[in-house]
Amino acid sequence: MNTAKKITRKKVQKPILLSILHQAKREHRKREQMFELIGWENLPEELKMEIEADVKGYIEELHGRYSTNCPFVQRRRESVDFWVKSYMDGICTLQTALDALKLKAK
């Protein structure tokens, strides 16, 4: 009797920590590209982390994925623009900008 023997290959899985590291690197690269797109690539990491969600919203609108007319979103964007520009122009300290932009929990 001639029967074919099926050879199974084991899938080699990446170690979980290595997968997490690669994912984190991709996300960091994407985040840096967002900040470069609007000219804020030289901001300190603390400030970038504080306004990351806001910058994502800017980029989504720039790409035409959505648009908002919400007055609260507009006010937040004006605040982010004001404090980032104030920090970049040397008008305020990093800590002042961070304190002003920190989202308060309700």
In terms of residue numbers, what domain contains 57? 16-101
Computed over every residue of the chain, the mean pLDDT equals 85
And the tokens for 70?
A: 């919400």
| pLDDT confidence of residue 2 | 65
In a domain, 10, yes or no: no
Which percentage of the chain shows pLDDT scores above 70?
A: 85
Inform me whether the pLDDT recorded for 32 exceeds 60.
yes
64-94, pLDDT tens digit by residue? 777 778 888 889 899 999 999 999 999 999 9
What's the number of domains the chain is made of?
A: 1
In a domain, 40, yes or no: yes
| pLDDT confidence of residue 96 | 95
And the tokens for 48?
A: 């970038």
3-class DSSP string for 51-75: HHHHHHHHHHHHCCCCCCCCHHHHH
Which percentage of the chain shows pLDDT scores above 90?
A: 41
In a domain, 39, yes or no: yes
Nearest Cα residue to 58 out of 45, 46, 74: 74
Residues 6 or more apart from 90 whose CB is under 8 A from it?
A: none
And the tokens for 72?
A: 């609260």
Give, for 48, the enclosing helix (H) or strand (E): helix 45-62
Cα separation of 103 and 2, whole Å? 71
In a domain, 20, yes or no: yes
pTM of the model: 0.72
